[in-house]
Amino acid sequence: MNKEKRTEIFSRLRRENPEPKTELKYSSTFELLISVILSAQATDISVNKATERLYAIANTPEKIFALGVSGLKPYIKTIGLFNTKAVNVIKTCDILVQEHNSVVPDKRELLEALPGVGRKTANVVLNTAFRQIAMAVDTHIFRISNRTGIAPGKNVLEVERRLIKLVPEEFLLDAHHWLILHGRYVCLARKPRCGACVVEDLCEFRKKVYAE
């Protein structure tokens, strides 16, 4: 796929959604961090339901840490892997208080040093909260990058690096959100809604389907 086609794809996605946003609900960088930690192998809807109750009573590192693991679990028990996540969230809150003056760091290495924060989580926080160029490749982005031909790769890291290199610069800050939302609602895993897709005519997957 050439630069002109990628530019047209993202131009159309931008026209459809000029200001794409994460569907996680948060009111601070700290809340975003915790929500993203909780969202691993869980839906944004389930996380939002849990954090609505949690953040109403504890939405700072100090307050969540004060809950302790046992006090946090009842709020997040409807989320997958909640036992492990509860431990990680409490440890992360402790580190934020002790080492970062309760402020979420804006450096990748510092974010990835927090329990429960991997590369994808760090990328979401860097991009969404701090507006740094970062590409959090989840299952949706990995699928779309390969299916459409935008940035094919054999693994998540390869796709991430190719997206950063190949997505036209003017779209890089928001490309993460456009691709996730497109994968979540249009370019579905089992039955992509090609007829409702604004980039259908530019997609490599469509060419393969029509060729068969």
φ and ψ of 202, to 5 deg: -105, -5
Per-residue CA distances from 13 to 1, 163, 199 (Å): 17, 16, 8
User: Is 191 among the residues known to form the active site?
Assistant: no
User: Can you state the angle between helices 82-100 and 29-38, rounded to 10 degrees?
Assistant: 150
DSSP, res 211: H
User: How do the domains of the chain map onto residue ranges?
Assistant: 3-20+134-211, 29-128
Candidates 21, 25, 106, 138; catalytic one = 138
pLDDT value for 206: 64
Rounded Cα distance between 184 and 187, Å, is 7
Candidates 77, 120, 174, 207; catalytic one = 120
What CATH architecture does domain 3-20+134-211 belong to?
Orthogonal Bundle (1.10)
pLDDT value for 28: 98
pLDDT value for 207: 56
User: Is 138 among the residues known to form the active site?
Assistant: yes
What CATH architecture does domain 29-128 belong to?
Orthogonal Bundle (1.10)
φ and ψ of 89, to 5 deg: -65, -45
DSSP, res 96: H
Amino acid identity of residue 89, one-letter, is: V
To the question of pTM greater than 0.75 for the whole model, the response is yes
pLDDT value for 59: 97
Q: Are 46 and 78 in contact (CB under 8 A)?
A: yes
Q: Are 141 and 176 in contact (CB under 8 A)?
A: yes
Which pLDDT tens digits describe the chain residue by residue (212 residues)?
899 999 999 999 999 999 999 999 999 999 999 999 999 999 999 999 999 999 999 999 999 999 999 999 999 999 999 999 999 999 999 999 999 999 999 999 999 999 999 999 999 999 999 999 999 999 999 999 999 999 999 999 999 999 999 999 999 999 999 999 999 999 999 999 999 999 999 998 765 544 44
Both tokens of residue 156?
């998540």
Rounded Cα distance between 206 and 49, Å, is 37
Torsion over CA: 175, 181, 184, 187 (sign): negative
